[in-house]
């Protein structure tokens, strides 16, 4: 599970390969006794179904608090957050090289929703971000 999440957050091929190898290893035991391999099944779900990564370049403490509050009450198992602040910027850039291109600006926050290694234009409001993440596909009116 952790390897699959790490691969999704870093987009590093080495983590993707390790996650695939681990899932291949677990495939047999999962088939034999699924109830005993819950985290393995959760990892398989993340690998088989689309996930979203949200890159949060947070420029203010207020936005960080709003983000924390919004996600503390949300159930979004297909979403992983990568939060970048002035304090975490150097460390995050070292471990997640692609994060360098998402700059933290003073007093302004930008949120990027990424799927299949492609990110949206920045969303600048936490409420709008949550709306984007929780929107359901709407069936056409008949």
Residue 92 vs residues 27, 30, 83: alpha-carbon distances, Å = 32, 34, 9
Average pLDDT over residues 6-21: 88
What global pTM score does this model have?
0.73
- CA end-to-end span of the chain: 41
User: Which of 59, 83, 71 is CA-nearest to residue 133?
Assistant: 71
pLDDT of the residue at 137: 42
pLDDT bin (cut points 50, 70, 90) of residue 69 is: very high
Is residue 54 within a helix (H) or strand (E), and if so which, with residue range?
strand 52-57
Spatial contact of 86 and 104, defined as CB atoms under 8 Å apart: yes
What is the reported pLDDT for 136?
58
């Amino acid at each position: 599970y952790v390897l699959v999440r790490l691969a999704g957050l870093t987009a590093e091929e080495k983590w993707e390969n390790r996650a695939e190898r681990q899932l291949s290893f677990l495939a047999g035991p999962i088939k034999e006794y699924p109830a005993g391999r819950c985290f393995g099944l959760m990892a398989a779900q993340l690998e088989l179904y689309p996930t979203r990564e949200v890159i949060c370049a947070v420029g203010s403490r207020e936005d960080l608090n709003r983000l924390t509050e919004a996600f503390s009450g949300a159930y979004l198992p297909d979403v992983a957050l990568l939060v970048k602040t002035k304090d975490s910027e150097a460390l995050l850039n070292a471990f997640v090289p692609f994060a360098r291109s998402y700059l933290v600006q003073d007093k302004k926050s930008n949120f990027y929703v990424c799927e299949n290694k492609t990110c949206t234009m920045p969303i600048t409001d936490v409420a709008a971000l949550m709306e984007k993440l929780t929107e359901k596909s709407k069936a056409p009116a008949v």
